[in-house]
Amino acid sequence: MNKPIYLWLGIMLWLTVSEGEAQTFTPLLRNGVFRPVSEVSYEAKLTVSGNYLFFVGRDANTGIELWRTDGSPEGTRLVKDITPGPSSSFSAPTSLFDAKGTLYFFAGTGLYKTDGSEAGTVLIRNFSDIGGANLLYYNGLVIFKTLGGLWRTDGTPAGTFQIAPRGETPRLYKGVLYFYTSAGPKFQETDLFRTDGTLTGTSLVKRFPATLQSLGVGVDGLYLTFLTGNFHPTPGLRSTWKSDGTDAGTVQLGPTVTTSQPSYFNAFGDLYQRQNFTGLQPTFRQNKDTGTFEPVTPTPSSAVLAGSNSVLYNGQIYGTGTAPTTGTELSRLDGTPVRDLNPGVGQGIAMGSRPAVFNGLLYFAGDDGATGPELWQSDGSADGTRLVRDQVPGPRGSNPLNLTEFRGALYYDTWDGTLWKLDARPTPPGTPPMSPDALSLLPPAYDCNGGGLTLQVSGGTRFPIEYRVTGLRDWSSRADFIIPAWQRIGTTFTIEARQSGQVISRSFTSSCGSARLASPEPESSLDIVLYPNPVGEQFTVGVTGAAGKTVQFTVTSLDGRRLVRQRRLIEVDQHTESMTMPTDAAAGVYLLGVDVGERTQTLKLLKR
């Protein structure tokens, strides 16, 4: 049945809003992007796959379904009305995932794939226990988990089957996937498996008589930490292991102790070792050439380094960081804010905002306390961080989220459900005119072996000169810097000098001849499992990947009414949280939110 889903085009076809001559904002879809629970949710999940940008949209006639755009208003449309009718909250698409140009997603109880056309959108298989599915591409297969175990699919019903009855999101090491499961009569043991995506190629590596606390992938194997016991007042026993993927090659590193042991995690293609995940703690990075762990300087903030909303820009890591005096802001790796956007302890970067690199700048949802959450851009410096456009005047703001680059433009959605497209390069901050004797930056002197970088200038006046390299050191009179070993090849830095208030800059890319960088590996994710589902009065939430964090659990009705909220400090990597539905909660669909600060997941909860 054909439905009139494009009435909005008659009103807004090619309606654009221009800011000077440099930027053009185009609303591709008014009030059609779906944000469940509240306007700060980012479950619309803009995802590039093949020739389209996909997202979760809503329409009065078709309800909540999968949509796509080619970048034009007339090319923004419903992909397929999978669940006919306007009431399709329970079947809303989730877990949008690109696998080499084919989009996979869940809708209702089914796993689907699509090429962006209605005819090319097909059901692969139905499940009775989807839960929270994290998808992974591996050797032509899509690996995913349900409450009923670990699965694989090649995009066909026959090629979709269970690999293991249980299993967390796998990690890749030397072409083989590794995953772990809780084992034993009380689930206080851990099984480590390896798989090539086939039943015959899936086997147990080793069973550990302890609970897994952390898992990281290094150049020389898997690093694992475990905890046994920990029943107050008796302290638990802690141990650290390394595995090459075989039983014989899985060995314990050092003795079993009762004191705290370092945790291991991956971020931006590197393996890190850290004593705990709170505040600024000594952190070590594995050297990919020697396999040894070297200190990271300056000491990184765990929220920025391991946060799911962090990005790499100009060779530096930026993300959401919180400091006692500046609040929550767009921050550098060491936790210092790029700019105290919302002065004091206010929130200068919107909740759930993941910066996007576009046209050589960082874009993010910022809030200066006056305009509300709006689109901002930054070059990594305080002076270069500025408002792009006050889209909704007043303190409420437009709250732009899901910032995604597609075909040379930046896309995002706002709280009112509008999908926006930003074209063209923004006008850069003005640069003072240079006089014949003006200060200028020369190519720096660089020692590849030791990492020594010395900035050099010419011209200028008799007044003092200060130097800065973003990510290495802030302004000082010293012109010498040390580049860490992991950034000595192929990293682009912004080097700056200033005199009498005038700032000049240029870029410098570290180089050591023919050396090459290893490609980054995906970072580990927050894993949430809800069971049973459907639920009765009581249910359990399993949380993996939040050790050392304070987690907030909420149950909300589809109209935004909060029924349950509880907070818990998660002390172990595999945590189970018991929750109870209110006795007067009616049967139906609810939303379970698990918020770890910089990471959030929302699952559907069906009440019997």
**CATH number assigned to the domain comprising residue 245:** 2.120.10.80
pLDDT average, residue stretch 124-133: 78
Q: Give the number of other Cβ atoms within 10 Å of residue 404's Cβ.
A: 18
* DSSP assignments along 294-310, one per residue: EE-SSPPBHHHHS-TT-
Mean pLDDT of the residues in the chain: 83
Shared-domain flag, residues 476 and 577: no
In 3D space, the residue among 472, 471, 482 whose CA is nearest the CA of residue 449 turns out to be: 482
CA atoms of 292 and 407, how far apart (whole Å): 41
Q: Which of 299, 316, 334 is the last residue of a domain?
A: 299
Shared-domain flag, residues 543 and 505: no
Query: 562-596 b/e with 16+ CB inside 10 Å = b?
Result: eeeeeeeebebbbbebebebeeebeeeebbbbbbb
Shared-domain flag, residues 587 and 446: no
Shared-domain flag, residues 504 and 562: no
Q: Which of 477, 509, 541 is the last residue of a domain?
A: 509
- For residue 421, is it within any domain? no
Shared-domain flag, residues 265 and 221: yes
Place of tokens 């990492």: 451
* DSSP assignments along 218-234, one per residue: ETTEEEEEEEE---TTS
Shared-domain flag, residues 270 and 140: yes
pLDDT average, residue stretch 33-44: 54
- For residue 12, is it within any domain? no
**pLDDT at position 232, please?**
61
Shared-domain flag, residues 137 and 217: yes
Residue of higher predicted confidence among 206 and 64: 206
Residue of higher predicted confidence among 440 and 75: 75
Q: Is the pLDDT of residue 580 over 70?
A: yes
**pLDDT at position 308, please?**
82
Tens digits of residue pLDDT in 264-318:
999 998 999 998 655 567 899 999 989 999 999 888 888 899 888 899 998 889 9
CA atoms of 457 and 307, how far apart (whole Å): 37
Residue of higher predicted confidence among 505 and 243: 243
CA atoms of 98 and 150, how far apart (whole Å): 19
**pLDDT at position 594, please?**
84
CA atoms of 544 and 166, how far apart (whole Å): 14
Tens digits of residue pLDDT in 244-266:
999 999 999 999 998 888 899 99
Record the tokens describing residue 433, joined without a space. Answer: 């005119």
pLDDT average, residue stretch 194-205: 95
pLDDT average, residue stretch 400-424: 91
Record the tokens describing residue 290, joined without a space. Answer: 């020697």
Shared-domain flag, residues 499 and 553: no
Q: Are 596 and 524 in contact (CB under 8 A)?
A: no
- For residue 253, is it within any domain? yes
- 230: pLDDT confidence band, cut at 50, 70 and 90? low
What is the domain count for the chain?
A: 3
- DSSP H or E stretch at residue 10: helix 9-12
In 3D space, the residue among 605, 523, 500, 476 whose CA is nearest the CA of residue 171 turns out to be: 523
- For residue 247, is it within any domain? yes
Shared-domain flag, residues 487 and 540: no
CA 442, 447, 453, 459: dihedral to nearest 10 degrees?
-20
Tens digits of residue pLDDT in 463-485:
678 888 887 887 777 888 888 87
CA atoms of 28 and 538, how far apart (whole Å): 43
**pLDDT at position 565, please?**
82
**pLDDT at position 553, please?**
85
Q: Give the number of other Cβ atoms within 10 Å of residue 556's Cβ.
A: 20
In 3D space, the residue among 521, 473, 526, 518 whose CA is nearest the CA of residue 497 turns out to be: 473
- 523: pLDDT confidence band, cut at 50, 70 and 90? very low
- For residue 318, is it within any domain? no
Beta bridge partners of 412: 420
Q: What single-letter amino acid sits at 209?
A: P
Q: Which of 299, 332, 358 is the last residue of a domain?
A: 299
**pLDDT at position 435, please?**
40
Distance of CA 584 to the CA centre of its chain: 36
Q: What is the CATH number of the domain that holds 548?
A: 2.60.40.3080
Q: Are 400 and 391 in contact (CB under 8 A)?
A: yes
Shared-domain flag, residues 491 and 602: no
Residue of higher predicted confidence among 425 and 218: 218
- 555: pLDDT confidence band, cut at 50, 70 and 90? confident
- For residue 542, is it within any domain? yes
Tens digits of residue pLDDT in 48-80:
999 999 999 988 888 889 999 999 999 999 999
Residue of higher predicted confidence among 398 and 424: 398
Distance of CA 284 to the CA centre of its chain: 22
Shared-domain flag, residues 209 and 150: yes
CA atoms of 414 and 542, how far apart (whole Å): 31
| Domain, as residue range, for 495 | 440-509
Shared-domain flag, residues 287 and 147: yes
Residue of higher predicted confidence among 137 and 478: 137
Tens digits of residue pLDDT in 314-361:
888 999 998 888 999 999 998 999 999 999 888 999 887 899 999 889
- For residue 599, is it within any domain? yes
- For residue 562, is it within any domain? yes
Q: What is the CATH number of the domain that holds 478?
A: 2.60.40
